[in-house]
């Protein structure tokens, strides 16, 4: 096989992509990503020791965080980017080794290959083929190492979002290094790795809390907001991805230019923040989840800006209107450079092109209601609690997570429609696009779909659950009238799942399929310990949930 990747839900036949990624990732990029992860593991061996010695580590932290994020599904498809990253990583690793020795430290007599290998760029492809997922022969150890690695990728992605707003926690970076170094340790047992996976869940909670603090401190608490899904007759820019800082800087630079700004996919929740919705040219949300971008980027007509992952290989019809930034990349697509010395990114080229484009073609009309993050929901706590106590609300369903291309994801729209009228959906992430435009009504003025925001705002759903547990005087979060039916796609969803497991949430149903990277024995552990289960049909699952 020319590659082996099974980190996302859509992996071929639920097993692995072995010739080309369903995402569009080519075999050379897959091998370079494997090599970058291997390089990061080698860096982590030295970084953990350097941290104990109190050596400066900010450059290492940022490199690890950005590199991990760049390997997430649908983030970067540019082989040249990964060649440069591996080269930089090897130099950084050697600088760390010298710093440790220069500070009087000693190194183990035997170091893993990941901490010692060297090669020029023309040898990267061959090396990458040797150090991928299958290099770990034991299936269960491989499964747990990959589960831990994907959780760490999710942590790094959320840490990067917070870092853009100048929020960071040293303990999060320390765990990333510890976890990556552990994946090289053949002395660790399966039980040791399970413990590390659960520890990753703890840091998943921490990083989502940090990002929540970064977002709300910077832009205010999300509030109940109505968002237009139609269009105006002005040239426009469509912003996709997740990064609020990029959007804020773009809004500031487009103010007064006559260019409208729309959100797409996971950027919809930007409208809920007071600090962003004050811009009157942030006029609405265009389209749906990431996997529909081929059609929606075409019809938008204007410039499209990808701030983070959720890019799919672009069509020629709009490729010349597409821009990326940060860790996102695709060969032949223009890239907005990073901030220099704290100055905003320069969007002048993007804005100039947008002004020459025709207005978007309208694809739908109407409004969406959102902004139900923990602060807003807790402000309505009395109303919600009364509705539960009187029986007006019988049950809450957490349906957070990701959307995707597979036809079987129609299940989530069918499930939402099949739920009884006395139930409420708590959602975050792009999975909501399967049901957030359905007319599901309300319960005493409480909408039956409460959108907390992006996938990282799953933290808000945890805060809401913990508050309800306190209000009802319960000892266990699992005693609440809340069921979890979560859709997953990529590695940020993995860390959300691990965070829920760390918090003790049980009986989570995960779909549309269980991860291909989980070995049968690891699945058995998750089922027996946490009650993890898959999905069946919408009608049968609704009946099952409502009877429990």
Please give the pLDDT value at position 381: 87
**Is 9 in a helix, a strand, or coil?**
coil
CA distance 143 to 140: 5
64 closest CA partner among 182, 164, 180: 180
**In degrees rounded to 5, what are phi and psi of residue 454?**
-75, 175
Question: From CA 64, how far away is CA 59, in angstroms rounded?
Answer: 9
Predicted local distance difference test score (pLDDT) of residue 397:
97
Written as six digits, the tokens of 405 are 């291309």
C-alpha 187/C-alpha 141 separation (Å) is: 11
Low-confidence stretches of the chain (pLDDT < 70) are none
Residue in this structure with the two tokens 């996919």, named with its chain if needed:
265
Of 545, 538, 369, 393, the closest CA to residue 449 belongs to 369
State how far the Cα of 450 lies from the Cα of 436, in Å rounded to an integer.
9
Strands 282-285 and 260-263: parallel
Q: Virtual CA dihedral for 434, 248, 305, 311, nearest 10 degrees?
A: -50
For residues 155 and 461, what is the distance between their CA atoms, to the nearest angstrom? 18
Q: In this structure, what are the phi and psi dihedrals at residue 150, rounded to the nearest 5 degrees? A: -70, -35
Question: 429-447: string of b/e by CB count within 10 Å (b at 16+)?
Answer: bbbbbbbbbeebeebeebb
HEC secondary structure over 499-542: HHHHCCCCCCEEECCCCCCCCHHHHHHHHHHHCCECCCCHHHHH
Do 154 and 515 contact (CB within 8 A), yes or no?
no
Instruction: Read off the pTM.
Output: 0.97
Residue 489: what pLDDT?
97
Query: What's the CA gap between 327 and 307, in Å, rounded?
Result: 8
Triad 147, 519, 528: Cα angle to 5°: 90
Instruction: Read off the tokens for 84.
Output: 């440069």
- CA atoms within 13 Å, Cβ hemisphere of 200: 33
Q: Round the average pLDDT of the chain to a whole number and report it.
A: 96
Give me the domains of the chain, ranges plus CATH numbers: 1-135 (1.20.1270.20), 225-355 (3.40.50.2030), 373-547 (3.40.50.2030)
The answer to whether 197 touches 344, Cβ cutoff 8 Å, is no
CA gap 241, 157 in Å, rounded: 12
* Cβ-based neighbours of 91, under 8 Å, separated by 6 or more: none
pLDDT score, position 1: 75
pLDDT score of 459: 87
CA distances from 247 to 153, 253, 288, 344, 536 (A): 23, 10, 18, 11, 39
């Amino acid at each position: 096989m020319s590659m082996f990747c099974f980190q996302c839900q859509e992996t071929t036949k639920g097993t692995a992509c072995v010739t080309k990624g369903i995402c569009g990732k080519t075999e050379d990029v897959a091998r370079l990503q494997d090599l970058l992860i291997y390089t990061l593991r080698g860096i982590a061996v030295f970084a953990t020791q350097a941290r104990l010695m109190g050596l400066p580590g900010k450059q290492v932290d940022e490199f690890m965080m950005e590199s991990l994020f760049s390997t997430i599904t649908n983030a970067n498809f540019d082989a040249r980017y990964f060649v440069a990253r591996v080269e930089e990583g090897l130099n950084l690793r050697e600088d760390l080794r010298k710093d440790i020795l220069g500070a009087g430290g000693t190194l183990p007599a035997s170091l893993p290959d990941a901490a010692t290998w060297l090669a020029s760029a023309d040898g990267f492809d061959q090396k990458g083929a040797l150090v991928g997922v299958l290099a770990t022969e034991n299936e269960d150890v491989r499964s747990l190492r990959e589960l831990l690695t994907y959780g760490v990728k999710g942590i790094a992605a959320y840490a990067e979002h917070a870092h853009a707003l100048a929020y960071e926690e040293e303990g999060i970076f320390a765990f990333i290094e510890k976890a990556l170094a552990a994946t090289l340790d053949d002395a660790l047992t399966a039980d040791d790795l399970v413990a590390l996976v659960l520890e990753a869940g703890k840091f998943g909670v921490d990083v989502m809390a940090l990002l929540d603090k970064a977002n709300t401190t910077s832009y205010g608490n999300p509030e109940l907001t109505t968002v237009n899904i139609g269009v105006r007759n002005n040239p426009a820019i469509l912003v996709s991805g997740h990064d609020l800082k990029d959007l804020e800087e773009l809004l500031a630079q487009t103010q007064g230019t006559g260019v409208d700004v729309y959100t797409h996919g996971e950027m919809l929740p930007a409208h809920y923040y007071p600090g962003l919705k004050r811009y009157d040219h942030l006029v609405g949300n265009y389209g749906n989840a990431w996997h529909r971008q081929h059609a929606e980027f075409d019809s938008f007509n204007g410039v499209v800006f990808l701030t983070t992952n959720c890019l799919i290989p672009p069509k020629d019809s709009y490729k010349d209107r597409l821009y990326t930034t940060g860790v996102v990349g695709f060969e032949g697509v223009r890239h907005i450079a990073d901030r220099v010395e704290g100055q905003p990114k320069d969007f002048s080229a993007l804005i100039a092109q947008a002004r020459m484009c025709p207005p978007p073609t309208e694809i739908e009309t109407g409004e969406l209601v959102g902004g139900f993050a923990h602060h807003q929901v807790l402000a309505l706590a009395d109303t919600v609690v009364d509705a539960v106590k009187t029986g007006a609300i019988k049950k809450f369903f957490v349906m957070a997570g990701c959307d995707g291309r597979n036809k079987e994801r129609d299940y989530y729209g069918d499930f939402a429609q099949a739920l009884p009228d006395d139930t409420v959906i708590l959602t975050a992430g792009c999975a909501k696009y399967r049901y957030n435009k359905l007319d599901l009504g309300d319960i005493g003025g409480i909408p039956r779909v409460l959108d907390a925001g992006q996938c990282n705002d799953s933290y808000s759903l945890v805060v809401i659950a913990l508050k309800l547990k306190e209000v009802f005087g319960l000892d266990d979060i699992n005693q609440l009238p809340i069921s979890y039916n979560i859709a997953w796609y990529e590695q940020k969803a993995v860390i959300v799942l691990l965070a829920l497991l760390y918090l003790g949430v049980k009986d989570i149903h995960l779909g549309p399929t269980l991860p291909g990277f989980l070995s049968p024995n690891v699945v058995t552990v998750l089922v027996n310990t946490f009650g993890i289960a898959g999905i069946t049909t919408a009608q049968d699952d609704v009946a099952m949930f409502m009877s429990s």
